[in-house]
A = this chain, B = another copy of it.
Amino acid sequence: MLVRGVTGMARVVPETRDEILAAAARRFAVSGYRGTSLQDIAGEVGCSKAAVLYHFANKDAILTELMAPAIGMLQALDERIAAHSGAAAQRVAGEGFVDLAVRFRREIALLRGEFPELLQQPAFAHIQRISERLIEALAGHPERPAARIAALVVLAGISEACGEFADIPDEELRPALLALVRRALEPVD
C-alpha cells in the first residue's frame, strides 16, 4: 500500500477493505459490474489485484456485500406486502418501493442493465421471486394485462433511472416518484 499515515499514528486511514468497496462502487456505477475488472478496482485503490482477492473471496462477493443492505430492505418490504392484499398491498408496495429506490438509488444503479444476468446467480435467486410478487402487488389486478404492463414499466423504469437520480435530494425525489407511481398504476376498485 501507499504511505499510510506519515507519523506512527494508528488507524489514520480507512482500511484497505473499505477502500476496495468504495472503489468498486464507483467503477460499477460507471461501467457496470461486468464492465469493471478486478484490475480496474485495484488500480483505483492503488493496490494489486491480488490484494483485492485477499479481502474478498471473488468478484461476486464484492457486489454481494455492496448490495446487502438494499437486499435486506427489499426482503423486509416483501414481507410487509405479503401481510396485505388488494388496494392495501398496492399502496404498501408502491410506497415501499419508492422508499427503497430513494434510499438505495446508488446501490440499485450499480446493477444497471445487469439485473437479468445477475438475478440468475444463486446468491440473488430469491430476488427474482420477490420482484414477481412486487409486480403483482403493484399491478393490483395481476390478471389484467394492462395493469401488469403498467407495474412492469414503473418498476423497471425507476430501477433503471436510479443512476440519473444521484444528485437529486431525497426530499425532492421521493414526492416526485410517489406522485408518479400513484398516477401510473391502475387503481384497485
A117 at the interface (CB under 8 A from B): yes
**Are B145 and A168 in touch, CB under 8 angstroms?**
yes
**Are B157 and A173 in touch, CB under 8 angstroms?**
no
Contacts A112-B116, A113-B112, A145-B172: A180 and B153 contacting too (C-beta < 8 A)?
yes
**Are B149 and A176 in touch, CB under 8 angstroms?**
yes
> What B residues does A127 contact at CB under 8 A?
none
A56 at the interface (CB under 8 A from B): no
Contacts A35-B117, A184-B184: A152 and B161 contacting too (C-beta < 8 A)?
yes
18 A–B contacts from the bound complex (CB under 8 Å): A32-B116, A32-B117, A34-B34, A112-B116, A146-B172, A146-B175, A149-B168, A149-B176, A150-B180, A152-B157, A152-B164, A153-B157, A153-B177, A153-B180, A156-B157, A156-B161, A157-B158, A159-B160
